[in-house]
Each structure stands twice: as C-alpha cells, then as structure tokens.
Amino acid sequence: MAVNLASIRDLLLPGLRGVVGKYDQIPSRWDKVFERGNSNMAVERTASMRYLGLAQLKTEGGQTAFDNNAGERFVYNQEHLEIALGYAITRKAIDDNLYKTQFQPSNLGLQQSFAQTKEIYAFNVLNTATTYNASVGGDGKALCATDHPIDGTTVANRPAVDVDLSEATLLNAMTTIPTTFKDNAGLKVFARARKLVVPNALEPVAIRLTKSELRPGTGDNDVNAILATSGGLPDGYVVSEFMTSNYAWFLLTNIPGLLYLNRVPFEMDMETDFTTDNLLVKGYERYSFGYYDWRSIWGSFPTQ
C-alpha cells in the first residue's frame, strides 16, 4: 500500500511544532577497510599464482636445480548483488501535506538506506570470516583460518586459540605476521600490520593501545611498543557499529586483498503512475564486497 493520508494524518493540520525522525547518519566505515574498484562483469575472478621458490645450493660441476612448479593455484570469485528499494506515495498525501520542507515526499531517505545497507554487506565479510564460502572459492578455507594451504605446508592468519584484544595479543599478532606470512611457493612476503578494526565495545581498548605514548595498562615508564613494532599501526584503528561480535578484532596489513567492486553506481528515479497518480520513487545499486588474498588480514574471534 502506498504512503497515504492516514500515514501522515498529523501533517495535514496546522499547529505542529515540528517533524522529527530523521537523524544524522553514521559516517562511512567500509571505505576504510576495503579497496575500491570498478567492474563491467557479472562475476569478477582473481587468480592467485605460485611463483618461483627458494634458490638451491649448486655443487661444483653439478646440475642447476629447476623449479617448474609455477602456475595458477587458487581462483577467487566475486559476484555482484542487486540492491534496490522503493516506495509509493499518493497524490493526496503530497498535495495536502503542510510540512513538505520537513517531510519531503520525494526524499524519504533512500540514500541513507542504501548507505547503511552497504555497511552491513561490507562488514559481513568480517563477521563471517571464519566460515568458508564456496561461492568465493579460493583456497578452500575461510578468510581467516589456521591452515591456508601453500605449496608443502599451511599458514595461519588467526591464532590457534582465539584471544581477546590486549597489549600482549596485539603485539603477538604484529610480530607473527611478518615472520609467518608466505607466498604460494613458501617465500616470506613483506607483510606488516597497518590498521586495527574493532567493534564499538572494543574502542576504549583500541584507544588505550594505540594512543598511549607509554606502555598501556602498567605503571612502568616503558615506551608503547605497539607504536613502533614492525612499523607500528600507521593507519590507526577503525570502529564499526556493524560488527556483530563484541569481541572479534582484526588487523589489516599492507597487502591488498579486501575488495569492493562497483558494478552500477547508486541511481535514483521517480515517476507518476498514470492510472493512480501515485508518486513512485526507487533506488538501485549493484556492487559486491569480497576478498582475494587472506594475507590482507589477521583476525581473532574470542566468544567470552
């Protein structure tokens, strides 16, 4: 049913002090976690390759070792979603509304609805980071796992036992990433933690850990090692209201891998229905959030 006179009955009479219900929107957070890209395909695919491994010792007069194992290892898929929302409002509701400047019939907040929907889909990638998604494919593991396969072994981008966010656990993750992250051939890669991502409940902890010049939570006069270890966290921290766990936390690294692809930008259209005179307003957008390299992130998922 269209928005009609009954839906706005108090806006038909003079004497209202004001109209409320529209609030400041939460600033965009997804664009601080995901890299941006454009797409002209229904499904985008990213291939993870294996390059050469370590050079081998050669004896005098002996043969040179050959590594012929280079090639494609994993393919990550990213399929776009169609996002749409609309509403209809009767002509009488438009004509008889005395408070059009405060309750604009042609703008009931579509852009805000789409913006918040985008945040939900973005952080769903992190909220479900421990669950393998077969439609994504890749290495057959969840985004955050203890056993991502590479040639000859596995690599973890989460702790064997999930831990709460603290000075010790953050430093352990920051020092583990550079020493354990490897490419598909087993060579160490230049991986460094760069940004902390936390839910609202952990923001006070993130502030203490990343803003204190001295060692947090102690009476010692030690410097805060978090600010300098492996280059520190130069991009600070991000807080999201759309993380579903109050305890999960993530580190984003300098390696790209979390991706937002824009297939059709947000568009808004309206027209008057010829037979009913209702004003029809709708919005449409097409995009996807996904990932193509687990080395872009480290996550811990304590439940408490």
Cβ–Cβ under 8 Å, residues 93 and 5:
yes
Residue 60 maps to a domain: no
**Per-residue model confidence (pLDDT) at position 102:** 64
Residue 6 maps to a domain: no
Q: What is the pLDDT of residues 128-183, one digit of tens each?
A: 999 999 999 999 999 999 999 999 999 999 999 999 999 999 999 999 999 999 99
**Per-residue model confidence (pLDDT) at position 16:** 64
More confident residue, 18 or 237: 237
Under 8 Å CB-to-CB from 63, ≥6 apart: which residues?
none
**Per-residue model confidence (pLDDT) at position 279:** 86
Residue 175 maps to a domain: yes
In DSSP notation, the chain reads: --B-GGGGGGGGSTT--------PPPPP-GGGTSEEEE--SSEEEEEEEE---------TTPPPP-----EEEEEEEEEPEEEEEEEEE-HHHHHT-S-TTTS-TT-SSHHHHHHHHHHHHHHHHHHTTTS--TTTBTTSS-SS-S-EEETTEEE-SS-SS-----HHHHHHHHHHHHHH-B-TTS-B----EEEEEEEGGGHHHHHHHHH-SBPTTSS---B-GGGTGGG--TT-EEEETT-S-SS-EEEEESS--EEEEEEEEEEEEEEE-TTT--EEEEEEEEEEEEES-GGGEEEE----
Residue 291 maps to a domain: yes
**pLDDT at residue 45 above 70?**
yes
Residue 256 maps to a domain: yes
Residue 14 maps to a domain: no
Question: What CATH number is attached to the domain comprising 197?
Answer: 3.90.1690
Residue 25 maps to a domain: no
**Per-residue model confidence (pLDDT) at position 44:** 94
Domains contained in the chain, number: 1
Residue 104 maps to a domain: yes
* 145: containing domain: 30-48+74-300
**Per-residue model confidence (pLDDT) at position 8:** 66
How much is the pTM? 0.90
Q: What is the pLDDT of residues 46-82, one digit of tens each?
A: 999 999 998 999 999 999 999 899 999 999 999 999 9
**Per-residue model confidence (pLDDT) at position 122:** 97
